[in-house]
Amino acid sequence: MSVGSGLRLSLIGVVVAAWSVVCGIGGGLFAVPVLHYVYRMPMRRAVATSLGLVAASTLTATISEAFHAESLLNWPVVAALVAGSLAGAQVGFRAAQRVSVRGLKALFAILVLLVALRLFGGSAGELGGTPGATLSPWDFALVVCIGFGSGFVSPLLGIGGGLVAVPSLYFGLPALGYLGVRACSIAMAVVNSTRSAWLYAAAGRIEVESAIWFGLGGASGAVAGVQLVHLPEVAPVARSMMALTLLVLSLRFAWDVLSGSRGSKED
């Protein structure tokens, strides 16, 4: 890769990471199409290489959030999410060999669309949350279940856990508020993306040079995203950005289902 191509990839990484961090997701939903369609990278290698951006941006964002004066990280919630997601990913990987992925995508296209519409109509009182909110044992059980679900669908549907964790936590535990939810989701993604990147790197599937350029841009964009999301009046915009992201995901699932039905009948 030439220096010019690398710099362009880094600039794209800045935008992708900033948007994703404001939403509370890793960014693979946008990073993979960039690598596959713009940089002509094979899909499997694009998925692996995108983890360079996801790992760099989520780690940098979490560190920035932790040291921010208005940090809304809730570490017990993060720990519960991580524990659930790691277990869910193992089960989801095995289930991916047996279930109809096309049917799941059709169901998720509808569910994600409904969640996106609900986020667009959310009330302003659900945004900031309570710093250091104390949760009951039942709340933590719910967090573990959300983490499990996030990890479970990732290998099945090829999406990041944050796309499940953010809306689930937001509606399930309103005390965290949207800003707290997105911070915890990104912290969960640090563990999941780093683990996946390590496995892909060991298998030789990552395009290292592209991952480095993408990761450098992702780290810069993540810092900008954290600073941006803590500005006054940004939370409603962040929530709307997440709703728009989910709408894109719903359309992607619908496209996969429709294009698959015109092709092979095998999942």
Domain ranges of the chain: 3-262
- Structure letter (DSSP) for residue 267: -
Average pLDDT over residues 88-106: 77
CB atoms within 10 A of CB 172: 14
For 209, the token pair is 């040079």
Indicate the pLDDT class of residue 217, thresholds 50, 70 and 90.
very high
249 within 8 A of 192, measured Cβ to Cβ: no
* CA dist., res. 188 & res. 209, Å (int): 26
184 has pLDDT over 90: yes
Q: Which amino acid is at 91?
A: V
Average pLDDT over residues 40-54: 88
* CA dist., res. 213 & res. 50, Å (int): 11
pLDDT digits (tens, 9 = 90+) for 141-154: 999 999 999 888 88
pLDDT at 212: 94
> Which strand (E) or helix (H) includes residue 228?
helix 208-229
Indicate the pLDDT class of residue 130, thresholds 50, 70 and 90.
low
pLDDT at 140: 92
The answer for residues whose C-beta is within 8 angstroms of residue 175's C-beta and 6 or more apart is 129, 130, 133, 135
pLDDT at 262: 44
33 has pLDDT over 60: yes
| Greater pLDDT, 31 or 232 | 31
Average pLDDT over residues 68-81: 92
* CA dist., res. 138 & res. 106, Å (int): 31
